[in-house]
Structure 1
Amino acid sequence: MVIFVVGLVCLFGAGGLLEILGWQTMNLVLMPWLGLAAASLVWLGLTTDLGPHLGGEAFEEAKRQNQRICRQARGSLGHWHNALALPTPRKEKPPKNRNAVPLTI
């Protein structure tokens, strides 16, 4: 319930600030927050250890291991995915008219 109340107060507060300050001032007021968010993302990118790059043989080994796990999962689950598949539409053949006489010219 607190989340909804805070959201409602923020909604009406934003409308009130926009009415009092206008678009130009609101954009200028929000610039430091935008800069803080951008600086946080840059800092996170610089301090995060991404680990060794998977290239060449390491990538191929990870790919084979992933395929092996997927095959094992399919084997243990059976063919449940076929039950969820939509039926393919069948082309209906036109009914045969048994009384029709072939035309020969």
Structure 2
Amino acid sequence: MVKRYTDEFRRRAVDLYQSTPGATVKAIAADVGVSRGALKEWVDKLGSGTTADGSSSPGPAPGRPQSQSVRIARLEVELAASRAEAEKLAEERDILRQAAKYFAGETNW
């Protein structure tokens, strides 16, 4: 099953990575629920080439509060990841229910 992500989701994930001081691709990918390779590809394709730790950083300096727009973008990415995870868990639950019904019918005790 191939996962499809919207362009907006990809841009927001890249923005989150670039605006989070000290962020790693691995950590942000885990936070938003995508593979490290996918996020790396998105950063290479859609990113500006700077991160919050870079000298030409558009984001706040480490230790300073995030701007409202960065915070909203981060929360929207987290919400999208949570919704994707909930959908995945619901699908897995349904598969397990069907398997339980099948195997319950197969037993003749």
Q: Considering the TM-score relative to the shorter chain, is it more than 0.5?
A: no
* TM-score normalised over the length of structure 2: 0.29
Q: Which fold has the larger relative contact order, with Cα–Cα distance below 8 Å and residues 6 or more apart in sequence? A: 2
